[in-house]
Structure 1
Amino acid sequence: MSNPQGPDNSDEPTEQVAAAADAEPATEVFAPAEPHGDELTVDPNERRFTAPSGFDAGSTQIINRSTDPATEQFSVRDPGTPTEGFSAQKPAAPQMIPPRGETPKPPKAKRKWGWVIAIVLVIAALAAVAVVGTILLTRGSSPSVSQEDNVRTTIQNYDAAIEKGDLATLRSITCGTTAEGYNSIDDKKWAETHRRVAEAGRYPVVASIDQIVVNGDHAEANVTTFMAFAPQTRSTRSFDLQFRDDQWKICQAPQ
């Protein structure tokens, strides 16, 4: 192929030059230097000493070897010895695992009914003692009050029996000479006598019971009385009573 013609182009052939950068340098080989005559030859079997250093300042420490532990010997069981049996273990009861998100409920405590019954019995005994004590204190603290009421009732019953002519009641609530007078009279004669006394208004009437004094089985009551025919004329009388046959009886009455 011909080269193009032009002012910038020459007809001379192009010289091809190898790139020096792409070429690798040649390896240089150094031969070992021969020893000079004045240098000493080193014997490999010769013992050499090094200069002392800081590591050699201390004395040499000898470390003792640890002794191996004694071999443990196991006794061989006699083949004729029966094998020791192991008791069978009880299988573990299944455990309920609560579902996630729910807290397990604590086990309910068993009620000790024995203690409950004992406490109830003690409370009942204390209540019974309190009731009995209250009754005893009431009887002991106010015997005169209840007896005074009984004396008052006897006097009121006597006054009503005199007004009505009730001979049976007069015989049951009197004692002593007063009772003898009512027991000795005949019923018909009493009825006739009472009719005439009532028409004349000559029987006593108890206007008020003013004072009652109880001393053991005896009692005395001061009363205000008047005659039925003259209620404006009042007088103070007294009743003498005794406690007989579980009741208060009038042994002496005002006339």
Structure 2
Amino acid sequence: MSDEKNNATPEADTTKIDLNKKKPADESTDAPTEKIAAPEADSPVAAPRKAEPQKITPQKIAPRKIEPQKARPQQVGPRRVGPPAAEPNKPSHKKWWAALVAAVVVIAAVAAGAYLLIDRTSVEDSPEAQIRTTVESFTRALAAGDLATLRSTSCGDLATFYRDIPDTEFADVHRVSVEQGNIPTVDSIDAIQVTDDTTAIAQVIAHTDANPNDRSPRTFDLSLDGDQWKVCS
């Protein structure tokens, strides 16, 4: 180590630096100095300004030509066409015809009713109608025990029997006949035959309560007494 120190050149000796010696201010150093940028201060924010309304210049609109639109054909459905309304001041001929037809119908109905009434009256006055009425009245009085009607609608020996029998005795006979079920009940009058001007025969279908299923034909002999037909047997 001592040999190396001895062999060193005198230029290699370090100079003594005075640390207390100040460096001249204007002495510049060879090494470049790095500039550090200082942070910029925030610039003041300007207050917002009130925007002035802009004037809009109206634009001129040139007239444009409107093309005519083509009408589309519409599909027309069937319509119910009613009769044309009659003019208020003009009388309708149909009304007159309707009134005339109504009057004819009324007249025809009245005529038909009058004809039926006359025909019914003539039928009721016929000998057959009178005989039917007498047979019905006689059989109803026989079933009810109406002695007065039996006396007024009977003739011959039957009229003598009803005239001579006392009322109380007839009541007993009628009561026994009802109990035995022997009184005939007429179901229908099938035929009436006028033999001459004063006699007639009426054929009926009758049954008794004793034999309700035995419906058999029976006959009534009648005679004209004055203007009234009566049952003789």
TM-score normalised by structure 1 residue count: 0.42
Q: Which one has more relative contact order, counting CA pairs under 8 Å at least 6 apart?
A: 2
Name whichever structure is richer in helix by fraction.
Answer: 2
TM-score normalised by structure 2 residue count: 0.45
